[in-house]
Amino acid sequence: MPPQTPSQSTETLEKQVTGATVWLTGLPSAGKTTIANELAGRLRAEGRKVEVLDGDEIREFLSAGLGFSREDRDTNVQRIGFLAELLARNGVLALVPVIAPFADSREAVRKRHQAGGTGYLEVHVATPVEVCSVRDVKGLYAKQAAGELKGLTGVDDPYEAPEAPDLRIESHTQTVQESAAALHALLTERGLS
């Protein structure tokens, strides 16, 4: 194998250490985690350091004991935001498929990243509630309709959609691969892939 020239070494090093957080927000069953996992697979195949911070796993291991009150949801989002920023400033691309229903809570995470000079992108997976309720990956919409669940985001609990996300993905109008490709293109455009 031929030795790398100094410019090649520098380019490789820069690519490895540029971290950022990509927060995918949207309703339950919008496709956030599916898109994040598809993109993560593509980026890992390119040699990129990527972590997917799945909301359900975070609740189990990092935010156990938190409920779904406004205060608990904000606490959960801030914990995830802290972890994502920590990973990002250490060269990892953190993909965060987490509902984060309140705009002010997401904005606080963005400001934490900006204060540290860490890249942050907000992606709205803008799937209509009617489509999400048909997908109903975890059976939440069925439980809510049956009266077994209260406080379902976007149904009987608020969801504040981003007004100006870095990218809006309508996962109900395109394939998972197309959605991941659109996000990959944005990362490339911003120098983060």
What local confidence, expressed as pLDDT, does residue 65 receive?
A: 77
What local confidence, expressed as pLDDT, does residue 15 receive?
A: 42
For residue 177, pLDDT over 50 is answered with: yes
pLDDT in tens, 99-141: 999 999 999 999 999 999 999 999 999 999 999 999 998 999 9
For residue 13, pLDDT over 50 is answered with: no
Is 29 annotated in some ligand binding site? yes
Sign for the pseudo-dihedral over CA of 193, 17, 34, 187: negative
What local confidence, expressed as pLDDT, does residue 14 receive?
A: 43
Is 30 annotated in some ligand binding site? yes
What local confidence, expressed as pLDDT, does residue 110 receive?
A: 97
What six digits make up the tokens of 7?
């410019």
Mean pLDDT of the chain: 90
Which sequence spans correspond to the domains of the chain?
18-189
For the structural domain made of 18-189, what CATH number should be given? 3.40.50.300
| pLDDT band of 70, cuts 50, 70, 90 | confident
pLDDT > 70: percent of the chain? 91
| pLDDT band of 9, cuts 50, 70, 90 | very low
pLDDT in tens, 30-62: 999 999 999 999 999 999 999 999 988 888 888
| pLDDT band of 69, cuts 50, 70, 90 | confident
Is 26 annotated in some ligand binding site? yes
Is 33 annotated in some ligand binding site? yes
Is 86 annotated in some ligand binding site? no
What local confidence, expressed as pLDDT, does residue 16 receive?
A: 46
**DSSP β-ladder status, 167-169 and 50-52:** unpaired
Is 150 annotated in some ligand binding site? no
What local confidence, expressed as pLDDT, does residue 133 receive?
A: 95
| pLDDT band of 67, cuts 50, 70, 90 | confident
